Amino acid sequence: MIKIFNRYLSIKDILFFFIESILIFCFVLLATYIRYKISKYGLINYNAVIPKIVLITFICQLSLYYNDLYNTNIIRTKQETIIRSLQALGVAAVILSIIYYAIPDLIIGRGIFLISIIFLTIIIILWRLFYSWIININAFDERILILGTGDTAKDIAKRILNKEKVGYDIAGFISVDDSIKVGTSLVNPKVLGKYNQMCEIIERDNISKVIVAVSERRGRLPVDMLLRCRLRGVKIEDDTTFYEGINGKIRIESLKPSWLIFSDGFSKSRLSLTTKRLLDIAASFMLLITAFPVMAITALLIKLDTRGPVFFKQDRLGYDGEIFVLLKFRSMREDAESKSGPVWAKEEDDRVTRIGRIIRKIRVDELPQLINVLKGDMSFVGPRPERPFFVEQLKEKVPYYGLRESVRPGVTGWAQIRYPYGASVEDALEKLQYDLYYIKNMSFLLDLTIIFETARVVLLGRGSR
């Protein structure tokens, strides 16, 4: 894993994306060359053709992304890879056809377009099957050793084994506990030896990184042995940092205040905050204008469906603990909490109206929050604002929950795209781990990633309740 603009990315993912982009570009260029040769048009005007090829490459990659073809945890079989690839290319062809109809000057040529689709269908399917084979044989994976045999060490091992593209191969565990015998199987990899044998095992098994996952380190951490390994060029990384990189969240169970104080991140320069605010204003203003017809129709349907106001107003906790009034389209009965008081939302909530169920599914009920963004109560991207009643409860039960108030809450966020809708203390704990990751690594690029991913979540109807 490498960190680019505060975003952890797998080296294999980056290489895969760039190689695939180059393949798409080159085969469309080849189709152009073949078409020109067959038609005897003469020399290719590259200045006119290359921007059109870049457009085709971008639309194809966008379609592949939105069809989950970069998520190998979803795609399990060769048949599914082929079917999804064909679907993605079909969608790309439709999108390009619409673009060509709207802007005829972007048309690359009917013959070229047809040849390109044939080429791309073959090359993308072959390339993706080849890449799946590379993943299955763990080619180019980095060999790692986990120092520790407790719950933290086991959890890290499980996370790596459950993910297909993290780029790590676990050689085994090193024990710092005399009660754990060498050869004992933990999760799947075994205990390879004691901490005083670590350097020998590293050299023998070609280890390039050691993950320190010892929960209680005082008096138990083999500092001298770790220093010897580090001086030999082996990378040493603590469990919290490593966990953050492979999971996109910060593990609360092993989190210590010292790590928060001394780790990289949590930077909020004036330039980054100004850029974020400008993005908020631009995105919310453009969406309000674009979505105005939808909002007007939604308001009318709510009014016709049930008695009560169109908008739902509720106190939420914002930046630095300040309370603001959140705006949403009303999706529940007007007297939804008259008897029960504040309660979590739940599956098949009987308080939700007929229209409310629809607008929640397609996230239209969230659109009025764009007004909160324009006012400065919220950001477009950030942790979801919670009700003061629940925040007081969660601060008592969930450690570090108050850290969410260090940034403005958002309409969408890292937790929203990485974790399904949750309405319990356990869900709040899980989502906090993603929120802390966002607060630590907050950047313009990460915000754009979240906005881009949110569009996919909304289109696929995931996580709504």
For residues 274 and 149, membership in a common domain is answered with: no
pLDDT digits (tens, 9 = 90+) for 335-363: 666 565 666 666 566 678 888 888 888 88
For residues 212 and 315, membership in a common domain is answered with: no
For residues 322 and 378, membership in a common domain is answered with: yes
Instruction: Compute the distance between CA of residue 442 and CA of residue 436 in angstroms, rounded to an integer.
Output: 10
For residues 414 and 351, membership in a common domain is answered with: yes
Q: Reply yes or no on whether the pLDDT at 110 is more than 80.
A: no
Write down the pLDDT at residue 177.
Answer: 75
Q: Is residue 253 part of a domain?
A: no
Q: Reply yes or no on whether the pLDDT at 385 is more than 60.
A: yes
Mean pLDDT of all residues in 209-214: 89
**Percentage of the chain lying above the pLDDT 90 cut:** 18
Q: Is residue 167 part of a domain?
A: yes
Is the pLDDT higher at 350 or at 168?
A: 168
For residues 367 and 450, membership in a common domain is answered with: yes
Instruction: Compute the distance between CA of residue 212 and CA of residue 96 in angstroms, rounded to an integer.
Output: 50
- Supply the Cα-derived Rg of the chain in whole angstroms: 26
Q: Is residue 252 part of a domain?
A: no
Q: Would you state the structure tokens that stand for residue 265, as one six-digit string?
A: 């991140």
Write down the pLDDT at residue 465.
Answer: 46
For residues 322 and 453, membership in a common domain is answered with: yes
Q: Would you state the structure tokens that stand for residue 274, as one six-digit string?
A: 């100004």
Q: Is residue 261 part of a domain?
A: no
Name the phi and psi angles at 97, rounded to 5: -60, -40
Q: Reply yes or no on whether the pLDDT at 134 is more than 80.
A: no
Domain end marker among 188, 212, 247: 247
Q: Mean pLDDT for the chain?
A: 83
Q: Is residue 388 part of a domain?
A: yes
Q: Reply yes or no on whether the pLDDT at 164 is more than 60.
A: no
Write down the pLDDT at residue 40.
Answer: 56
Write down the pLDDT at residue 1.
Answer: 63
Is the pLDDT higher at 368 or at 334?
A: 368
Strands 311-317 and 323-329: antiparallel
Full-model pTM: 0.78
Instruction: Compute the distance between CA of residue 109 and CA of residue 100 in angstroms, rounded to an integer.
Output: 10
DSSP state letters, 236-289 = EEEHHHHHHHHHSS--STT--HHHHHHSS-----HHHHHHHHHHHHHHHHHHHH
Q: Reply yes or no on whether the pLDDT at 41 is more than 60.
A: no
Longest Cα–Cα distance in the chain: 79
Q: Is residue 400 part of a domain?
A: yes
For residues 37 and 177, membership in a common domain is answered with: no
For residues 154 and 74, membership in a common domain is answered with: no
Domain end marker among 108, 136, 164: 136
For residues 183 and 45, membership in a common domain is answered with: no
The residue whose two tokens read 């308001």 is 299
Q: Is residue 446 part of a domain?
A: yes
Q: In the beta sheet, which residues pair with residue 328?
A: 312
Mean pLDDT of all residues in 415-439: 84
pLDDT digits (tens, 9 = 90+) for 238-280: 888 888 888 888 888 778 888 888 777 777 778 888 888 998 9
Q: In the beta sheet, which residues pair with residue 16?
A: none
For residues 324 and 394, membership in a common domain is answered with: yes
Is the pLDDT higher at 102 or at 14?
A: 102
Q: Is residue 262 part of a domain?
A: no
Q: In the beta sheet, which residues pair with residue 312?
A: 328
For residues 312 and 442, membership in a common domain is answered with: yes
For residues 110 and 146, membership in a common domain is answered with: no
Q: Reply yes or no on whether the pLDDT at 464 is more than 50.
A: no
From the list 190, 149, 145, 140, the residue with the least C-alpha distance to 167 is: 140
Domain end marker among 136, 152, 185: 136
**Percentage of the chain lying above the pLDDT 70 cut:** 86
**Total count of domains within the chain:** 3
**Which range (329-333, 411-415, 433-437) has the least confidence?**
329-333
The domain in which residue 92 lies consists of 2-136
Strands 168-175 and 191-194: parallel
